[in-house]
Structures are given as structure tokens and as C-alpha cells.
């Protein structure tokens, strides 16, 4: 199956290239960012060796939709989506923290709670909770933004003390995060889903804070099905969810949690296909649209040509 796991494009005006865990970002004339959402998949902050067909398109198209749906809350970096796997936007200087917000005790927060901790990022968690219970109020649990390796939990106090973000900007980031999460929660409920937790990344264009990167995708967010949620909680049953948590669970079952001494298990072709199918299910569940499987026989050339055509028209 044809998946894009690496791009090495050359565009006129190219001033920088950044290869992230999932996205390859090309800076053009120090004013545009061309973000290619590849089919790479990461878990526990480790890029897995096998790509997932259609994953990049799923993430990019969901993010593009939610950027459009939240631009009344704050401006974002997006200019256009010239290809299912590509977004072009304004160059922004990113903040050095990611804003994570959690509505429910799940994932990393649950693993911390289960180990006996009752606070995360300096924010207290109530006693007597069980996995996937709803918090009385959503918790803001920011992380440092690591170019390589693991992002680390960090408190508001440490962010300000270390000067990672000014106090004025950080208060604005918190406000935007809560408003975006509320919008995402409302949109998820319309689709019969619960937005469990998510992360947002912000940057600055001049003095203006803008939303950057992805938003409300299954890589950056966790969703539960609303129907039956309370019954499953009451019965202490696992929640039915839309997220890439199933990939993390498969890796843990095969002895991998991102530790330095652990080797990534081999992902069989059947499992890779199941992950691809699950991402398409995620797209359809979150958007309500049918995902159209495009021709992947020469995806790399299609993506490159789409970008060339956009840049030619933009700089005409």
C-alpha cells in the first residue's frame, strides 16, 4: 500500500524545511508555510517505522475543517488546502508550549492518576475517580514542545517562571484553549461524540496570536461515543472511542511504551490496513462525510505538483 513517509521537495523560494513527527513543513520566502501531512504515525512520541495509507489526508482534511469552523474565536494560519494532504498558511513563530485540555480522566492523565498522583501540571485531580470519568471542569495541562523525544508536562507557574511565554500571552492562550474546547465539544455532540481531551498549538504573526498546526484530529484528540457512555461508566466497562489510542494499546500489548531500551514491534500488513480503515472511520465519524479513497499509485508526485501549482498561482 502506497503511504508517504518521507518528502524531499524543492520549491522556488524555499528557505527552510522541518521534518516533524508527522508533518513536513516547507518555508517559502520566509512568509509561507507549506505543511505536508504525511502518513507517518507516532505513538509515545516515537515515529513508527511503517506509514498508514490515507492517514495524512484524514488528519489534514479534519484539521482544515475545524480551522474554518473556529476562525471566529481567533485567527489561524491557514490560507488554502491545495491537496488532501497539504495545507498552506502564514508563517508564524510558534510558542514553546502546547496547550492540552482534558475533560475526562483518560489516557496520560489516567495513567498518572492510577499511579497515585492527584495532580497533573500543578492542577489538582479529585479523589475517588475512575478511568474515563468526567472532570468537574476541564483541566488545562500544558506540555513543553519537544522537537525530538518526549513532550513534558509543565505547570503554568513554571512556564511563566522560565519565561517560555509572557504572562499576558499565556492568559490569552488559556482563554482561547477553553473556548476552542467548548466549540469542539459542541461540534462533537452534534455527531454523537464526546471530545474527551485535545491539544492546541499557537504561534504569532507579528503581534497577533494565531492557531497553528492541527486541531481536533484523532492524532491530537480523543473522542468517545456519546451513546452508552454513562451505562459503560456505571458498569466499569471500557469506553467506545474514536482516537489513535487503539494503536498505543496494541503497542503496549506487544511490550512497547516508548522507553529507550524498547524496540518497536513489527506491525503486520493486516494491522496496518486495520489502522488505515480506522482512520477513515474516524474521519467519517467526526465529519459526517464519506471519505473518498483517492488513487495512491503516485501520491508523492500528485502532492508535489499540487504544491507547485499553488505557489505558481500565489506568486503570479
Q: What tens digit of pLDDT does each residue of 262-301 get?
A: 999 999 999 999 999 989 988 999 999 999 998 888 899 9
Residue 294 is predicted with a pLDDT of 86
Residue 147 is predicted with a pLDDT of 57
Residues facing residue 33 across a β-bridge: 27, 89
Q: What is the dihedral of CA 81, 86, 90, 96, to 10 degrees?
A: 130
Residue 151 is predicted with a pLDDT of 76
Q: What is the DSSP string of 157-192?
A: HHHHHTTSS-HHHHHHHHHHHHHHHHHHHHHHHHTT
**216 close to 204: Cβ distance less than 8 angstroms:** no
Residues with Cβ within 8 Å of 299's Cβ and at least 6 positions away in sequence, in order, are 2, 3, 4, 85
Mean pLDDT of 223-236: 97
Residue 2 is predicted with a pLDDT of 80
Burial of 148 (0-12, 13-18, 19+ CB in 10 A): exposed
Q: What is the dihedral of CA 9, 10, 12, 14, to 10 degrees?
A: 90
Residue 246 is predicted with a pLDDT of 84
Tell me the C-alpha distance between 6 and 8, whole Å.
7
Tell me the C-alpha distance between 258 and 86, whole Å.
28
Give 43 or 104, the one with higher predicted confidence. Answer: 104
| Tens-digit pLDDT profile for residues 170-217 | 999 999 999 999 999 999 999 999 999 999 999 999 999 999 999 999
Residue 115: how many other CB atoms lie within 10 Å = 7
Q: What is the dihedral of CA 302, 308, 309, 312, to 10 degrees?
A: 180
Residue 297 is predicted with a pLDDT of 82
Average pLDDT score, the chain: 94
Residue 244 is predicted with a pLDDT of 80
E strand map for the chain: 14-19, 23-28, 32-37, 42-43, 46-47, 78-83, 86-90, 93-94, 97-104, 119-120, 123-124, 134-140, 143-144, 193-205, 208-212, 221-225, 241-242
Q: Where are the alpha helices (DSSP H) in 51-166?
A: 55-69, 107-114, 156-161
Residues with Cβ within 8 Å of 218's Cβ and at least 6 positions away in sequence, in order, are 58, 59, 62, 242, 243, 244, 279, 282, 286
Burial of 292 (0-12, 13-18, 19+ CB in 10 A): exposed
Q: How confident is the model at residue 138 (pLDDT cuts 50, 70, 90)?
A: very high
Mean pLDDT of 256-261: 90
Q: How confident is the model at residue 241 (pLDDT cuts 50, 70, 90)?
A: confident
The structure's pTM equals 0.89
* Rg value, the chain, Cα: 19
Residues with Cβ within 8 Å of 190's Cβ and at least 6 positions away in sequence, in order, are none
| Tens-digit pLDDT profile for residues 37-92 | 999 998 888 889 899 999 999 999 999 999 999 999 999 999 999 999 999 999 99
Give 190 or 149, the one with higher predicted confidence. Answer: 190
Q: What domains are there in the chain, each with its CATH number?
A: 14-92+266-314 (3.30.200.20), 94-246 (3.30.470.20)
Counting every residue, how long is the chain?
316
Q: How confident is the model at residue 148 (pLDDT cuts 50, 70, 90)?
A: low
Amino acid at each position: 500500500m502506497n503511504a508517504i513517509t518521507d518528502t524531499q521537495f524543492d520549491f522556488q523560494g524555499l528557505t527552510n524545511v522541518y521534518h516533524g513527527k508527522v508533518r513536513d513543513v516547507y518555508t517559502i520566502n520566509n512568509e509561507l508555510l507549506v505543511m505536508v501531512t504525511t502518513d507517518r504515525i507516532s505513538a509515545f512520541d516515537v515515529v513508527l517505522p511503517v506509514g498508514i495509507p490515507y492517514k495524512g489526508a484524514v488528519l489534514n482534511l479534519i484539521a482544515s475543517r475545524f480551522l474554518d469552523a473556529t476562525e471566529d474565536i481567533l485567527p489561524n494560519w491557514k490560507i488554502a488546502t491545495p491537496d488532501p494532504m497539504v495545507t498552506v498558511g502564514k508563517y508564524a513563530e510558534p510558542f514553546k508550549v502546547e496547550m492540552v485540555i482534558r475533560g475526562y480522566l483518560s489516557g496520560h492523565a489516567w495513567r498518572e492518576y492510577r499511579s497515585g498522583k492527584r495532580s497533573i501540571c500543578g492542577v489538582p485531580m479529585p479523589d475517588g475517580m475512575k478511568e474515563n470519568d468526567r472532570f468537574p471542569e476541564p483541566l488545562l495541562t500544558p506540555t513543553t514542545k519537544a522537537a525530538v523525544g518526549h513532550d513534558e508536562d509543565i505547570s503554568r507557574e513554571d512556564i511563566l517562571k522560565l519565561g517560555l511565554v509572557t504572562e499576558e500571552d499565556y492568559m490569552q492562550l488559556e482563554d482561547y484553549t477553553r473556548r476552542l474546547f467548548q466549540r469542539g465539544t459542541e461540534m462533537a455532540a452534534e455527531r454523537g461524540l464526546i471530545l474527551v481531551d485535545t491539544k492546541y498549538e499557537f504561534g504569532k504573526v507579528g503581534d497577533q496570536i494565531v492557531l497553528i498546526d492541527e486541531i481536533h484530529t484523532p492524532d491530537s484528540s480523543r473522542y468517545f461515543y456519546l451513546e452508552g457512555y454513562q451505562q459503560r461508566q456505571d458498569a466499569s466497562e471500557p469506553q467506545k472511542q474514536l482516537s489513535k489510542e487503539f494503536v498505543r494499546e496494541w503497542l503496549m500489548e506487544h511490550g512497547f511504551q516508548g522507553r529507550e531500551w524498547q524496540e518497536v514491534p513489527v506491525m503486520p500488513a493486516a494491522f496496518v490496513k486495520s489502522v488505515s480503515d480506522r482512520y477513515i472511520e474516524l474521519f467519517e465519524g467526526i465529519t459526517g462525510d464519506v471519505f473518498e479513497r483517492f488513487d495512491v499509485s503516485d501520491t508523492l508526485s500528485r502532492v508535489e505538483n499540487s504544491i507547485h501549482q499553488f505557489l505558481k498561482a500565489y506568486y503570479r
